[in-house]
Amino acid sequence: MASSLTTVVQNARKLHTATVFFLHGLGDSGYGWAPETEKMGKALEHVKIILPNAPVQPVTINSGMEMPSWYDIYALGDTEDILKDRVDEEGVLSSVVSVNRLIRNEIDAGIHSNRIVVGGFSQGAAIGITVGISSEYPLEKTLTMATDANKNTPIFMGHGIYDQVVPFRLGKLSHDLIKSKGYPITFKTYNIQHSSSPEETEDVIKFLQQVIPENF
């Protein structure tokens, strides 16, 4: 059953006309990304940023240890077959439902769905992309069950070429798959490992300024 998510909220500095959801990675929390999204908020003063916290649950690849996780992970690898391996579909769908509840709250508060962005890091990015391409609402953009409502949703994907947790090859395969389905996706690479960088943050800010500009 989908649970209600707690969140870290960074309110817009000016009139609130757009909302960004940013989902953290495995074992982290919204607080872990708050300093980085605070930088984004200073460049996007009309944007409210919401950082949901994943539910705590056992994670198979970490010997069943309980930690914040959007879904269970059974294995990691860097071959094409990993994209066909067993996936915790129930966990993914539960997180998608929970995030969609938060999106519904923003829409009910007066923010149009095409002024909402969903993204994240690592495991959170996977949920963000799933939400973005499967939502019943025509979300205008997102940062990895498609519906026609979001067939034109712009997607930004960044990946570190030295990533040893989610190998670069997997990121490229994910990009190629999404692109093959006709989605407008931008794929950028960075000289980093499994992390973010100032260059990537700047690219994300530029992307957000394009898709949810202050003046529209």
The answer to whether residue 163 is catalytic is: yes
Catalytic residue among 69, 94, 122, 174: 122
48 - beta bridge partners? 19
Q: Answer for the pair 80, 63: CB distance below 8 angstroms, yes or no.
A: no
- Known catalytic residue at 122: yes
- Of residues 29, 134, 194, 196, which has the active-site annotation? 194
CB 156 within 8 A of CB 51: no
CA dihedral 176, 180, 183, 185 (to 10 degrees): 20
Which entry of 46, 163, 174, 175 is annotated as an active-site residue? Answer: 163
Spacing of C-alpha 22 from chain mean position: 6
CA atoms within 13 A on the CB side of 44: 30
Q: Is 16 a catalytic residue?
A: no
SS3 for 206?
helix
According to DSSP, residue 84 is labeled: G
What is the pairing mode between strands 65-68 and 56-59?
A: antiparallel
Catalytic residues: 122, 163, 194
